[in-house]
Structure 1
Amino acid sequence: MKQFRFRPKLCKNAAIVVAAMALLAGCASTKSPVPSSYDFGPVAGPATPTPAAASFPAMVVADVSGPATLDTDRMFYRLTYANAQQALPYAYNRWAATPLQLMSQRLKARIAQGGVKVLSTTDATGGLPLLRLEMDEFSQNFASATQSTANISLRASLFRGHQLVDQRTFTRSAAAPSADAAGGASALAATSDAIAADLLAWLATLPPR
């Protein structure tokens, strides 16, 4: 019978990956044994109206859409140095709402702060421009066991009537202040605000009616 020999180097690498995954999955239980939830925190005070308000005094902003993996309150992270294709859940931490809902609330609030009157798709809209938002990525990715970044990719499409005026994809990232769920939530909130600023700047470049 042929005997199999373990390769020490492979075993060592596997042990390192398993240990790192256990450490990250246990972050919540180590720092906050009681289950906790996170959102993007309070919106900062009203900002000065942006140039976007001159071109678009009012618009309909649809809720952010995206894949089913973003329509859950579970918090995920990826160990890109071990297996970038696998999303792993935090053990004791969840979002206060789904990422799609959090992004919808944040972007609408920021657009309104920029001086644009924001209406929903259920309002009487009579020819107002429509902004559709699709989120392709919303993640906390670990480059090592102690370093991670938040990454958001959002596609925005502006319509007048049934005609597409323009479409733009916005991608932003930010370093997490700590290697845990709290750090990821903080970085994702900052990234969402950066996306909102980019979105308003883009709207300001589009021609008025």
Structure 2
Amino acid sequence: MAGAVWALAACSVLPDKPTRPTLFDLGAMPSAGPAPAAPKAANLSPLAMSAIEAHGPLEGSNAMLYRLAYANDQQLRPYAESRWAMAPALLVDQRLRNLLSQNRPVVSEAEGQAQLNNAGALPRGLRVELLEFGQVFSAPAASSAVVRLRATVVALSPDGEKLLAQRQFSVQRDAPSADAPGGVRALAAATDALALEMDQWLGALN
């Protein structure tokens, strides 16, 4: 009997089984909509897009980050029970390729190099750096999503590369709720808006 009582007492002090964090992505890809005054895909130069790069806290981490601007704007904090299904750079990469390919051929860096070696239609190179991807709280009950990146376009040729254009993009969207799910919805909206803005910029470069 004493042994049974001891076993029950030991069980009562065991820590609870750790709960797995909730995983999020950016949701379903936006469907192709009308592109007003946009050139036809056949008239746009193909893009050889490199994998999006990220540095610092965004590099290779699935953490869902936020800032408390009203307390300490310099401190990045991760949600304890919510994480991205994959690194933010990969999520943005998927979203961006999907939208840009609606108006022009988008190939990988290796495919672009193959076209270069075969002296086919030479694509332009697109390199993207993800600079910021997170939720910012201006007050305990108010937050917004911020997505910021740098895009560089180069002309590819057998003789090397030539810089054509570079631009930094930044989009902010209010979150519908001051929590992780609200931040996810706002980040998806900001990413899609930024992709459309980049698409228009690239079309003007053609």
Same fold (TM over 0.5): yes
**Cα displacement string for residues 180-200 of structure 1 (whole angstroms, at most 9, x for unaligned residues):** 111111101100001101001
2:120 is aligned with 1:129: no
The TM-score normalised by the length of structure 2 is 0.79
Question: What does 1:33-72 correspond to in 2, within 5 Å?
Answer: 35-48=21-34, 50-51=38-39, 53=41, 55-71=43-59, 72=61
Separation of aligned partners in 1, 2:162 and 2:170: 25
Higher strand share: 2
Question: What does 1:16-165 correspond to in 2, within 5 Å?
Answer: 35-48=21-34, 50-51=38-39, 53=41, 55-71=43-59, 72-113=61-102, 115-123=103-111, 124-126=114-116, 127-161=122-156, 162-165=161-164
| Segment drifting more, 126-135 vs 138-147 | 126-135
TM superposition shift of 1:67: 1.1
Which structure: larger Rg?
2
| 8 Å contact kept, 2:45–2:123 | no
Structure 2, unaligned stretches of length 5 or more?
A: 1-18, 117-121
| 8 Å contact kept, 1:60–1:125 | no
Residue correspondences, number: 174
Separation of aligned partners in 1, 2:52 and 2:101: 16
Letter in 1 for 2:84: W
TM superposition shift of 1:75: 0.7
Equivalent residue number for residue 171 of structure 1: 170
Separation of aligned partners in 2, 1:154 and 1:170: 5
Letter in 1 for 2:173: A
Aligned residue for 2:53, secondary structure, equals coil
Letter in 1 for 2:50: A
**Cα displacement string for residues 107-163 of structure 1 (whole angstroms, at most 9, x for unaligned residues):** 0001012x2111001212323111111111112000000000101111111100200
TM superposition shift of 1:35: 2.4
The TM-score normalised by the length of structure 1 is 0.78
Letter in 1 for 2:201: W
Distance 1:178 1:200, change over 3 A: same
Name the Cα RMSD after superposition: 1.6
